[in-house]
Structure 1
Amino acid sequence: MSALQVLGDGDNQERRELEERVLTAQADESSGQREALLGEYQSYIIRIASRICKRSITLQDDEYTIALAGFNEAITQYRRSEPSSFLTFAYMVIQRRLTDYYRREQKHQNQVPLIPPDARENESVHKEVVAESFEQFRERELAEIRRSEIEQFTQALARFGIKLTDLVKASPKHRDTRENMLSIALEIAANQQWMEEFLHQKKIKKSFAEQIGCHRRTLKRHRIYLTALVLVLVEDLPLMRDYLGLPIDRKGGGIRAEGDGNGSQSAALCGADS
């Protein structure tokens, strides 16, 4: 079982609705969906471009223009049969376009071209080969991104003395429980004080449980699983957040969790001892 499977089912209404909007944008340019998506996901595009470029990207940078074009390309190319969600697919397209951009910017005066002058003609003859190579590249790229994020996630867990094997054992069996824990994790991660108290306190205090609106025994029982969810929210793990149906361009609490609001929604989700 993978780290993603342990954390949740990875299937939700918002993701399906987004993919339907993308398909509508492809089928009907007059629908306005393409322009709406480009506007709504501007912060996502900036964040992903910044992550790939390893520096802060603004609307005035060429990298943003290229990333925006990559997102637009992803809208055009996405297919329902894709093994990944639309946002994961868009991430890969943006990364590929920015990588190509930086390669073009490099000055190699005496480099022998890897592509022969008649490449365009050959490409039209060998479309099937080109398409297959593109798919293989995409799968390798996605696998590498996932591997990197799982490694980062494993390191984050280790700061709190948690192993992936511990997480497998601690994962709730029932989907409703996992969804409830995710809602509680979202509230904890959105409040810096709650997050630090939850992650660093040796024992869960009754006063903290009352603030969250959840029974102390419930928090104690699911502490490993909740810690893992909070780390997904505060670490730079966009693909894992996408898998869980969370906003890919945000970090709960706004800070990274280092080892050592009000709980209105969780109060409704967390019974006396769920």
Structure 2
Amino acid sequence: MMKGLNKFFEWFVLIFCTGTVLLFLGVIILDIIIKGWPAISWEFISQTPTKAMTSGGIFPAIFGTILLTLLTALFCIPFGVSCAIYLNEYAEETNLTRIIRASIRNLSGIPSIIYGLFGLALFVQGLNLGTSMVSAGLTLGLLSLPYIITTTEEALRRIPNSTREAALGVGATQFESIKDVVLPSALPGILTGVVLTLSRAAGETAPILFTGVAFFITGNSGQLNQEFMALPYHLYMLSTQHQAIEQVRPLAYGTALILIVVVFLLSLTAFYIRYKYSKNDR
């Protein structure tokens, strides 16, 4: 009787907490949809801003966000996955590796604005890359590294040691067993962590604030060595810094809705990849 009652309260608390979070999230998203949907049109998505950002579209910000996310992926995925493979498959369990793992997890908790200041000092000024998309992409890559290393290592740990031993038993080298057996089995978890990390990076404002983002750019905004526009910073400026805040408020809600859609599509991609590879493994 007592065991069944405890089980009931566990499920009740779980459902209540989950429902509360989903309720508040739904209210926020519904408010953004209601206020932002009137601003959404093909012109809003495909055109550039005009008249001091009070009309026109946000295409440069969308393009800049997508390109910046791709650059971030290019910088952080190979290095992050390689570090996780080394820590989990090659490195011995010593005090040094424990310190490295603890440091990586601590880096995950550093505020993003600190990464922005570090990127300003290292990439913009130290390496003389200037305020550019490359500097911003490298900064976001550093911010994303701890998450990718952690999620990749966790995915590798879920693979049983018997799988590795079976590959070694048929004559494969350690590198071949990792490349042909372990990594394909851990791929759903790795890809899920990578995509969710990139979706978070796509919504960051503070790291790119100091390293390359601009409020408005005329002409070609797709050059890697120049400043760029991005949805998070564009939304921040429209919501807090524009001289005609009330006039551009619908555009701000429209920008927020587009940003939510971009992040949602990235998250949906992660779930689809996980489902696809999990289904193939059965």
- Normalised to the residue count of structure 1, the TM-score between the two structures is 0.29
Bigger share in helix: 2
Greater RCO, CA 8 A, separation 6+: 2
